[in-house]
Every structure is written in C-alpha cells, then in structure tokens.
Amino acid sequence: MSVFTRINTADSMRARVAVGAVLTTLTAGGVMGVSMHKNVTIDVDGHVEQVSTMSLSVDSVLRSRGLDASSDDKVTPALDSGLSDGQTIVVKKMKTLVIDVEGKKQSVKTNASTVQELLAQQGLERAGADSEQPKGEKLPTEGAVVDVILPKTVNLVDGTAKLRPTIAAKTVADLLADTGNPLAETDKVVPAADTPVTANMKIQVTRIRTEEKTVTEPVKPPEIEKKDPTLIKDRKVVLKKGTPGEQEVKYSVTTVNGKVVKREKLDAEVVTEPVAATVRIGTKPGAPFVPVGVWDALAHCEATGNWAINSGNGFFGGVQFDQNTWERWGGLEYADRADLATREEQIAVAKKTQAAQGWGAWPSCSSKLGLR
C-alpha cells in the first residue's frame, strides 16, 4: 500500500496531520524566501552594478560584493539602513588628490566622483575656473592631479569683431573654441594657437574661407548684324530684341574676414539658350576728324570741355545745342541728341549753325574768346 493510500484511510489521520504540517512549513519558507529577495542598484563613483540579493541592510549587501565602506566614504542611504526592492545605493569613496591651480598645488580629500564635482566642491566652478582634464572624467581613489585654469580677460580682435572676453582657457586655440568660434585650418592667428593665455594679452584672428558657390547668371543674346550704308558708321539700330538665356555658374570664392578677395570661375552650364537679336550696323562714313582748336575752346567755355554733358536745362553737348537747333542743322543724322554724338559730329553740326547764324549763336562765350 502506498503512502498516499495509507493517508486516505481513517486509521491514518495522524499521518495526514503530520504531512500537512510539513507542507505548510515548506510553503511558508518559500514565501518568506521570495519576500526577502530584492533587486538593487549599486553606484560606486559612477560605476553602476545591478545586484540580486537577500541581504537585509545596505552594509551587508555592500560587504557581499566586497565593498567595505570606510567611515570617510559617503554612502546613501546610510550603512545601517534596511533594503527594499528597486533601491539605489550610492557610494562616493574618499579620495586623496592634488589640485594644481596654475602652479600652486594643494592636497585635498574629497568624496567627489568626477572632476566637475571636485571643481564645484572647491568653489572653483563658480569662479569660472576650468580644468585641463575633461569635466566628466572619473577621479581615482589615490594619486590624481587635477590641473585647474583660472579665467582671464583678453583683448580679442576676431575678424571684424572687437571683443574682451573673460574665459578660463589654457591656450589661444582653447580660448577661441570656448568663445564658440574655433580656429579653422585656413585661419591665421597672432600669437600662435598653442600660446598660453595670459591676462590682457592681445589676440588677432584673420578668418580665411574658400567655398564653392553656384549662382544663376544671364547669357547675353548674340546679335545678327545687317550692314546699313545709310547709317553712320558704327551706329547700331535694334530691329528685333534678343532674349537672354540662363546659366549655372560655379565659382571658387575666397573671403578674408567676410570680404571677398578672390572669385575664380570653375564651370558654367547653360540651362536656357538665349535668342539672338537682329541689328542694323552703319557703314556710312561719319564726320571727319577735327584737330584741337577754336571749337574746343568754345566747348571749354560752354561746358567745361565735356562733349557728353547733359546739363538738364535743355542744352546738350560740348557747345550746348538746344534740341531744335540740333535737329534743324542735321544733328539727327548722327544721334538723337547732341550729347549722344561724338565730338567731330557735334562740330560738324556746329559749323552749319555758325555758317547760318554766325558766332552770335554762342553770344557770351564767343565774346569772351574774341570771336566777334
């Protein structure tokens, strides 16, 4: 007969009670074991570990991991605190190190985990100091030397900007990086980038940049020329206007402190072809050359010798034709107005005017010149 058969008989009541007691004890023990099991996080100076434990206190779980906290170590929560599931234990070990403030060394004890925490503890961060080591760098327990840089005010000319920043930086290059404008390989700086920063030093930065830029430019339409013997030589009359095209032009542009100093064309691609214009080009001989003489003297008196002057008072050119006189004596053969004609063409029309009206056509200046 099996054990369970015997238990199920009326004569086995005591056995059933005994077995039940055993099962109850086992169940209670299992429940207690589960309730005592915890998952906690241990953070030792930034080194994080996930731990599954049945320890009852902070001290016991640390000891179980081989972490014997000394009285100088900073432990949160306290060593005698109980544990709960999901808890985080933070340990900041006591460290002995040297702070070197620009050659002045001091030995200190600290629970800081990083360089930044150390600077904050010593009041150096608030004073604007920096360190040669990265601020996030972990501090070892012994033997560390933290090099501290104090802020200094300098006279900085960066491109076209004049500045006087106060920054904790070891070298000129570091200082410029801390201002948000680091040196590029093409930039020039005086003194050299690796020069140590000193108070009130003068720094001159020349920003040099070379970039490729693509711009859209017009393409001048070509001209289909038709020779016209009735038109004065080299005169042009547009019969049909052309239409400019478009091209994409790539340039290499060099700037110094933002000002363009060099612009080199690299490539061009026509994207829209221009439409040619049709023009008449004159072949008829123009007015003959006239040596310097009386007409130049008259022009100097009338218009300071400027044959292309448009005085804005209704008189044009070197000898100050009004429009009516210009047209009456054949000026339109040469140009729409006297100031648009050449010196020789204006003299040709002036000779016709003088032949018809005499020097009195220019009463004041001809009198000054003794011409009448």
| Domain match, 78 and 127 both | no
Range of the domain at 361: 286-368
* Alpha carbon separation from 369 to 91, 294, 305, 311, 363 (Å, rounded): 109, 9, 14, 22, 10
Residue 359, domain CATH: 1.10.530.10
In this structure, which amino acid lies at residue 22?
Answer: V
Give the whole-angstrom CA distance, residue 184 versus residue 171. Answer: 15
Same domain for 105 and 177, yes or no, is no
Residue 19, pLDDT above cutoff 80: no
For the four alpha carbons of 269, 241, 281 and 291, in that order, the dihedral sign comes to negative
Whole-number pLDDT of residue 152: 95
| 18 located within any domain | no
Q: What's the mean pLDDT when you consider all of the chain?
A: 88
How confident is residue 196, by pLDDT bands cut at 50, 70 and 90?
A: very high
Token representation of residue 329: 């004596």
Which among 129, 127, 135 is positioned nearest to 102, based on CA atoms?
A: 129
**End-of-domain residue from the set 206, 229, 246:** 206
What is the distance between the alpha carbons of residues 358 and 318, in angstroms, rounded to a whole number?
Answer: 17
In a domain, 279, yes or no: yes
pLDDT given for residue 3 in this prediction = 35
Task: Say yes or no: 292 and 359 in one domain.
Answer: yes
Domain boundary among 108, 133, 149: 149
pLDDT in tens, 119-150: 888 888 888 888 888 888 888 877 789 989 99
Tokens, residue 282: 């004159």
| Residues 74-120: tens digit of each pLDDT | 888 988 898 999 999 998 888 888 998 888 999 989 888 888 988 88
> 197-224 pLDDT, tens per residue?
999 999 999 999 999 999 999 999 999 9
Whether residues 44 and 78 fall in one domain: yes
| 251-297 per-position pLDDT tens digit | 999 999 999 999 999 999 999 999 999 999 999 988 999 999 999 99
Q: How many helices (H) and strands (E) does the chain have?
A: 9, 22
DSSP per residue over 292-311, as a string?
A: SSHHHHHHHHHHTT-TT-B-
Closest CA to 163 of 180, 143, 150, 149: 180
Domain of residue 87, CATH code: 3.10.20
